[in-house]
Structure 1
């Protein structure tokens, strides 16, 4: 059994003050004096009649696959093809996607990353629940059992 250390404590454990003078006593705390109601500041808004209504929070599926209602006249006139061609060439040349496409690209990337994991995990859980597959049991090494029993 090792002997306890009896030397001076290391410098990071020694208590030191920022100045060389000894610290003085802290000032006495002031007595509590309640504020009169006329001087109190209200934390509630004065105009309670104005209520800000937030739209209800959408579910994850609704946010990922948001569908906007189609406007009847939006597809009537042809789009400028050269504008799309320039945008695609800019992506290839500079490697920067137009800011309008970033939310859609983020959704597609999230779906591409999450879908294989979701499919695999759901199949594994299906096999455990309905097909009788047993969960893996990690083997315990004999050396670890001996160490655990000796303590």
Structure 2
């Protein structure tokens, strides 16, 4: 405990009141509460993410988003989603058009980086109409970041 001064006041609390400091306002309490909720939420997210078990390879899946006819070609927009716990770099995707069991055209693309739980889009160009052929998407390879 602080020693009483000449006026009988103790410690720094009384000195602060004597210097004219006002107690925190309602808005200061609200801002402090919002800050505490944000910090607590961040900590919960980080702990949950760590406990989720980030072991394992990427698990990418590809799907066709849209096919658009252009002047002398067809644009196939594709989306790759990484459902796995690890990221994939330089993920290679091929699109193959086949008619009657024979491959008539192939287009390739590469995704530079696909983080876990995210998706990326790209486009493939074909001269044959994908509506009159069988379009198959296949993922070939990736590198660990």
The alignment's TM-score, normalised by the length of structure 2, stands at 0.25
| Larger strand proportion of the pair | 2
Compare the two structures and name the one with the higher helix fraction.
Answer: 1
Q: Which has the higher contact order (CA 8 A, sep 6+)?
A: 2
